[in-house]
Amino acid sequence: MPPDLFDDQTNGMLGGELMDLGLSESLPPFEMMEDLNNIYFNTQHFYIPIVHPGRYLKAFYGGPLMKPPMCLQYSIWALASYLNDKYASFSDIFYQRARQYVEADELKGVGEYFITLFHAQAYIILSTFEAKLMLFTRASMTSAKAVRLVQMMGLDRVDGEKGSIPLAWLLPRRGLSSRSAGGHSGAPIASTPMPASPLGGRA
């Protein structure tokens, strides 16, 4: 657990609201959060324009249950504070907290909790932060998670044409009996006209 640097400062939120957000430590002062949000959208947003400023700030100033996930907020603050003269000393703490929250979200339920646009944005921002610190192995793993999340939500096909997936890529439907038989006998699970299938081309 990262050390809590903000215990002695006022953050403008009640303890109950912190519990609703799933926080185990107090937030930075509200003025600091606002400043970091402004720094991010005025400097870093031009390089990775993946967070809509108006929608994010509307959610940020909304009620406790409307706020963006803490992993996204801390990842934005980590990247905003990096190389900033005033807040540079906080960037590592913000990064650790962002990783803590995004990994905790992965373990909730059966994995459905973190398949959101917010978490994909958090992973992209975290991978950018890691790349800036030359943590390339970690950055590649984090960006791979972001790409997979985007693919799982179908966001990579939003601007594509309808029916852009070739029919040859779609697997034929398989029944339970064919899976069971194929597993015991070593026979192919599905017979397709593709050359890779031993039964391909047979009538």
pLDDT of residue 185: 59
Return the minimum-mean-pLDDT range out of 32-46, 76-90, 183-197. Answer: 183-197
Q: Which of 64, 57, 50 is nearest to 14 (CA)?
A: 64
State the first-to-last Cα distance of the chain, in angstroms, to the nearest integer: 63
Q: 53-60 and 30-39 helices cross at what angle (nearest 10)?
A: 170
Q: Residue 9: inside a domain, yes or no? A: no
Rg (CA), the chain: 23
Q: pLDDT tens digits for 94-130? A: 999 999 999 999 998 888 888 999 999 999 999 999 9
Amino acid 48 reads: I
Q: Residue 104: inside a domain, yes or no? A: yes
Q: pLDDT tens digits for 165-200? A: 665 555 555 555 555 555 555 555 555 555 554 544
State how many domains the chain has.
1
Q: Residue 11: inside a domain, yes or no? A: no
pLDDT of residue 157: 82
Query: Residue 8: pLDDT band by 50, 70, 90 thresholds?
Result: very low
Q: Which of 43, 74, 50, 39 is nearest to 143 (CA)?
A: 50
What's the whole-number average pLDDT of the chain?
80
Q: Residue 106: inside a domain, yes or no? A: yes
Structural domain of 106: 28-157
